[in-house]
């Protein structure tokens, strides 16, 4: 796959753990200003792919590129500095700090003054519609708020690309709908390239411009919502090849 213009991409990536291939020859691209979905059954390799795209896992073969430059050897820290941020399934917030400080710490780590970091943190919470969370202790936050703060913290890096790992896990349908609206705004208003990894396939289909389906470490389908919904390989992967509906 060749990509002109900005993208976070893999080209023929294989990841082997011993003799077992978690990913085989995976090529995909995330582009600015759009939401990309990544779905697939348990064990398909979604988390491994996120780890490869964020520098937590080196590919065994193939390339990871950021705006055309090979970044396969960069650490997670270096990739984040280069504009690739992620959220984690568990919030990973500093439990002893309030929400604003959780975000401000990230800004200070990037070299901003304390005051500038706090201003930016508050601006972000306000943009997300949760300014009231600023002084709340991170410990004991309701689950959905913790998720939102996790996304806010990732956005403190002003990333060109943002990878969301199961952000809707444990949410009600109404909460997931709020999250979906936020994800759309992150892509549309901030021009961020978003990769959304989710078990909630309905959520992925509703917000993604382009969707990749992984099964047993391989991309078995990609395309827009209509392509995915109509795909026999996708149906087979989810429901079993011998169970025709």
Closest separation in Å from C-beta 203 to ligand ADP = 16
Shortest distance (Å) from residue 177 CB to ligand ADP: 24
# binding residues, ligand ADP (CB under 6 A): 11
> What's the Cα-to-Cα distance from 10 to each of 78, 103, 169, rounded to whole Å?
17, 30, 26
Q: Is 47 in the site for ligand ADP (CB under 6 A)?
A: yes
- Per-position DSSP letters for 171-233, written without gaps between them: --HHHHHHHHHHHHHHHHHH--EEEEE-S-HHHHHHH-SEEEEEETTEEEEEESHHHHHH-HH
Candidates 46-54, 88-96, 107-115, 136-144; binding stretch for ligand ADP (CB under 6 A) = 46-54
Q: Give, as one character, the DSSP assignment of residue 3.
A: -
Counting contacts by CB under 6 A, is residue 59 touching ligand ADP?
Answer: no
Q: Using the rule CB under 6 A, is 80 a contact of ligand ADP?
A: no
Which stretch, 42-50, 112-120, 137-145, 172-180, contacts ligand ADP (CB under 6 A)? 42-50
Can residue 45 be called a binding residue for ligand ADP (CB under 6 A)?
yes
Q: In what order do the strands lie in the sheet with 210-215?
A: 84-86, 161-165, 193-197, 35-39, 210-215, 218-223
Question: Footprint of ligand ADP on residues 7-26 (CB under 6 A)?
Answer: 17, 20, 22
Residues that bind ligand ADP in the complex, under the rule CB under 6 A: 17, 20, 22, 40, 42-48
């Amino acid at each position: 796959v060749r990509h002109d213009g900005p993208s976070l991409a893999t080209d023929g990536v294989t990841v082997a753990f011993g003799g077992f291939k978690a990913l085989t020859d995976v090529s995909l691209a995330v582009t600015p200003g759009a939401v990309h979905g990544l779905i697939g059954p348990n064990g398909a390799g979604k988390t491994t792919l996120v780890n490869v795209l964020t520098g937590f896992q080196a590919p065994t073969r193939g390339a990871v590129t950021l705006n055309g430059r090979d970044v396969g050897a960069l650490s997670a820290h270096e990739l984040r500095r280069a504009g690739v941020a992620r959220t984690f399934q568990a919030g990973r917030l500093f439990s002893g700090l309030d929400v604003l400080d959780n975000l401000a710490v990230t800004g200070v780590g990037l070299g901003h003054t304390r005051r500038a970091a706090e201003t930016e943190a508050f601006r972000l919470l306000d943009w997300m519609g949760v300014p009231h969370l600023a002084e709340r202790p991170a410990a004991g936050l309701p689950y959905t708020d913790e998720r939102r703060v996790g996304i806010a913290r990732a956005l403190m890096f002003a990333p060109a690309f943002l990878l969301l790992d199961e952000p809707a896990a444990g949410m009600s349908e109404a909460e997931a709908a709020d999250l979906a609206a936020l994800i759309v705004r992150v892509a549309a208003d901030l021009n961020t390239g978003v990769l959304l990894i989710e078990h909630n396939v309905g959520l992925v289909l509703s917000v993604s411009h382009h969707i990749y389906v992984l099964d047993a470490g391989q991309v078995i389908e990609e395309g827009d919502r209509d392509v995915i919904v109509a795909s026999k390989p996708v149906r087979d992967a989810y429901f079993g090849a011998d169970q025709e509906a």
